[in-house]
Amino acid sequence: MNKIKLMSHLVAGYPTDELSLTAARALVKGGAHILEIQLPFSDPSADGPVIQDACTKVLERKYRTQDGLSFIEKLHKEFPDTPIYLMSYGSLIYTPGVEAFCKKASEAGVKGMIIPDLPFDHDEGLTVACKANGMENIPVAAPTMSDERLAKLANAGFKYIYAALRAGITGENTTIDDATIKFLEKVGAGGSKIYGGFGISNGEQSAALASSVEAVVAGSVFVRIISENQNDAKALSEKVEAKAKEITHS
């Protein structure tokens, strides 16, 4: 069986920097191809309760954007061959200035930016700033988009597009059906490589998606495992690695 590429999602610093690092190591060991690291945010619009709760707990420790970038830098030094994407929300990168933020992110080792609340055609200069700093802006396509808008995004020349497999928030279970595959075909119609996520938690789902995407994206499932095993680093590591192996079929 061919190995399925996995983009795994972690909240930087959750529940501690050390345990977050333990989880990242387990993900790489389990076959994760890309590490998507979320900077904790106080009012996330796309995240389900599991990730929202993780963000809240990290922010309660007075965790700053710079702490998240330092965490990414540490990961990049340990895993220089594993691409790291930064996921956050517009206000976090707009406040210090998009260009300044992208420069800092690139210096930390970030290869791509996923900012779901910045539309691809009104992105406050994110795509240009990413290119200037050797990164990719990875816009998000949603099933609620009109066919016209979806076609515009698909043909806008992005190397990668993140396809949210259903409307709503992350973490709820997602059924992969004919409508899902048709949506992915529309997103990829312009030649962009597609990352498909939202509610991916098992090998059955990733197998159903495998032929339609560049990589499957899984997040809440890992954050849940981390949350449930935060008092036992060994169990946390083993369970995260096992779940990554299940999703990648490795």
pTM, 2 dp: 0.94
pLDDT tens across 9-37, in order? Answer: 999 999 999 999 999 999 999 999 999 99
* Alpha carbon 15 to chain centroid, angstroms: 18
Amino acid 228: pLDDT: 97
Amino acid 52: pLDDT: 86
* Overall residue count recorded for the chain in this entry: 250
**Residues 199/172, Cβ–Cβ less than 8 Å:** yes
Amino acid 129: pLDDT: 98
The angle, 0 to 180 degrees and rounded to 10, between the axes of the packed helices 220-228 and 17-29 is 120
Percent of the chain clearing pLDDT 90 (strictly above): 87
Distances (CA, A) of 198 to 22, 67, 173, 201: 24, 26, 8, 9
Cα torsion 186, 173, 201, 42: sign: positive
Amino acid 217: pLDDT: 96
Tokens (6 digits) for 143: 């099933």
Catalytic sites, residue numbers:
36, 47
pLDDT tens across 89-148, in order? Answer: 999 999 999 999 999 999 999 999 999 999 999 999 999 999 999 999 999 999 999 999
Distances (CA, A) of 68 to 22, 88, 160, 163: 15, 11, 23, 25
Tokens (6 digits) for 241: 């690695």
